[in-house]
Amino acid sequence: MKDSVVGASFRVLAAPGPFATALWRAEFSPRGLRRLSVAPKSAGIEQGNGREMAQSDPRLKRLKKLIARRMAGQRGDLDFDEFDLTDAPKFHLEVWRAMHAIPFGEVMTYAELAGEAGSPLAFRACGQACRNNRIVLFIPCHRVVSSTGIGGFAGGLHWKRALLTLEGQSSIVNPKS
DNA sequence: CACAATGACCAAT
DNA sequence: ATTGGTCATTGTG
């Protein structure tokens, strides 16, 4: 029952920049998207435990299409119930849900997000939950910034910068006056 | 179970 | 630049 999990690695056509050579990896269970990650071209992506899925799989094609839209600076979302987040700690789920609700092009601080998740004082634990995000891009952890600056990003800050730039938040990427 | 340790933090020195 | 505060999760005994 654990092994109707399938995954695939792929690229998406994008304008020159970090995403042009990025390698994506997605994993699906029958319940939905289990994981989505990006890595630079050269880096080996963790292979997951499931089998490889066909590149022609409808779920994958739809995902690629959405990603391509986002790489072009346009909107494109997945509903929260399209993710399979089972086996995640409860608090993480709360935070991820709140994070999912941050609109395209907007940002929120870790503290604010903690409040949205129902634990205003858990801003630090909130950072943990962000770090543990499994669905890059569609659970927009890049829209969560620190009160003093841009904050962090698991797997490389350059992704966060690039994503925020795509959404018109260059003022955060380049703190100017 | 009961701890101690660990953060993609924050606000006030 | 430093510090003390806060909190869920994870690791250790």
Give per-residue pLDDT as tens, A15-65: 888 899 999 999 999 999 999 999 887 555 555 566 899 999 999 999 999
At position A38, the amino acid (one-letter code) is: V
What's the Å distance between residue A54 CA and nucleotide C6 C1'? 46
What's the predicted TM-score (pTM) here? 0.93
Structure tokens at A133: 């995000």
Which nt has its C1' nearest the CA of A122?
A: C7
Q: Tell me which protein residue sits closest to nucleotide B8, measuring alpha carbon to C1'.
A: A152
Is the separation of the CB atoms in A11 and A55 below 8 Å? no
Average of pLDDT values for A130-147? Answer: 97
Only one residue has tokens 């939950």, namely A129
Which of A6, A67, A135, A141 is the catalytic position? A141
Kindly report, residue by residue over A5-18, the tens digit of the pLDDT: 999 999 999 988 88
Structure tokens at A86: 């089972």
What's the Å distance between residue A131 CA and nucleotide B7 C1'? 9
Q: Is A126 a catalytic residue?
A: no
> How far apart are alpha carbons A46 and A43 in whole angstroms?
9
Percent of the residues in chain A that have a pLDDT greater than 90, as a whole number: 85
Average of pLDDT values for A100-119? Answer: 97
A167 backbone dihedrals φ, ψ, rounded to 5°: -100, 15
Q: What stretch of H or E contains A36?
A: strand A32-39
What's the Å distance between residue A75 CA and nucleotide C11 C1'? 41
Structure tokens at A110: 């870790």
pLDDT interval class at A2 (50, 70, 90): low
Q: Residue A36: which residues within 8 A CB-CB, separation 6 or more?
A: A24, A25, A26, A27, A63, A134, A135, A136, A137, A138
